[in-house]
Chain A
Amino acid sequence: GDSVTQMEGPVTLSEEAFLTINCTYTATGYPSLFWYVQYPGEGLQLLLKATKADDKGSNKGFEATYRKETTSFHLEKGSVQVSDSAVYFCALGGSNYKLTFGKGTLLTVNP
């Protein structure tokens, strides 16, 4: 079945550091790929998405490229801010809107 493996945290960075959170997936067919973010005390919010190979999703300075050859969708940001501190989930979208999530990565950015 479908599965998502993402880098386990926690990840602690200083402000303005470069961020990478790795995500790889296993799926049949051609899934859509997502990154969701969960800020403390809030629900999950869609951060970015990509629906086909080589698509690049981007939002709020974050980027991720759908790499079919490596079955990856790594999240990157060139310069993180304290306000980026949150839990990040990589997810795979299959049929009928169903989502398969990775375990989540806690990011803490220190000033």
Chain B
Amino acid sequence: GAVVSQHPSWVICKSGTSVKIECRSLDFQATTMFWYRQFPKQSLMLMATSNEGSKATYEQGVEKDKFLINHASLTLSTLTVTSAHPEDSSFYICSAPPGSTKNIQYFGAGTRLSVL
């Protein structure tokens, strides 16, 4: 089946630094990708919709200057957490729907971010 690769799987950084997370669709093209955030024992919360060739669409309450999203190609979206702080520590997950199938999404394995 379709595969979405997310990298890195775990990152530890110092407060104030920026961290980039990559999401790649390995065997299909994705004009749209989604970024989620998951807190411990909480559901996945949609942060933003990444659109190839245009600006990302952010959900209410998500700081677009804090979480920079770039959809550089049909197979790659990146999420950059800028000037990370301990409260940004979380599990970030991306997903992508293969264009030919509505309402089906393939998920990356997630990235655990720990900000010291």
A contact set with B: CB distance below 8 Å:
4, 32, 34, 36, 41-46, 49, 51, 89, 93, 96-104
User: Which residues of chain B are near A36, meaning CB under 8 Å?
Assistant: 107
- A–B complex contacts, Cβ < 8 Å, 17 sampled: A4-B43, A43-B93, A44-B44, A44-B93, A44-B107, A45-B107, A49-B103, A96-B49, A97-B32, A98-B46, A99-B34, A99-B44, A101-B43, A101-B45, A102-B43, A103-B42, A104-B43
Q: Are A97 and B107 in contact (CB under 8 A)?
A: no
Q: How large is the interface on B (under 10, 10 to 19, 20 to 34, 35 or more residues)?
A: 20 to 34
In the complex, what's the smallest C-beta–C-beta distance from B39 to chain A, in angstroms? 10
Please determine whether B43 and A103 come into contact, CB atoms closer than 8 angstroms: yes
User: In the bound complex, do residue B34 and residue A98 qualify as a contact, i.e. CB atoms below 8 Å apart?
Assistant: yes
Q: Are B107 and A103 in contact (CB under 8 A)?
A: no
User: In the bound complex, do residue A97 and residue B102 qualify as a contact, i.e. CB atoms below 8 Å apart?
Assistant: yes
Of the listed residues A4, A32, A89, A103, the one surrounded by the most CB atoms of chain B closer than 10 A to its CB is A103
Beyond A49-B103, A97-B103, A98-B49, is A89–B108 a contact (Cβ under 8 Å)? no
| B115 is an interface residue with CB less than 8 A from chain A | no
- Residue-wise interface mask of B (72-116) relative to A, using a CB-CB cutoff of 8 A (1 in contact, 0 not): 000000000000000000000101010000111111111000000
Q: Which of B42, B93, B97, B110 contacts A97 (CB 8 A)?
A: B97
CB nearest neighbor in A for B60: A1
Contacts of B109 in A (CB 8 A): 41-43
Minimum C-beta distance from A47 to chain B (A): 12
Q: Mark B25-61, 1 if CB is under 8 A from A, else 0.
A: 0000000101000000111111001000000000000
Please give me the residue from chain B that is nearest to A46 by CB atom. Answer: B104
Asked if A32 contacts B103 (CB within 8 A), the reply is: yes
Q: Which of B34, B41, B44 has the most C-beta atoms of chain A within 10 angstroms of its own C-beta?
A: B44
Residues of B within 8 A of A32 (CB): 103
Decide if A101 touches B44 in the complex (CB within 8 Å). Answer: yes
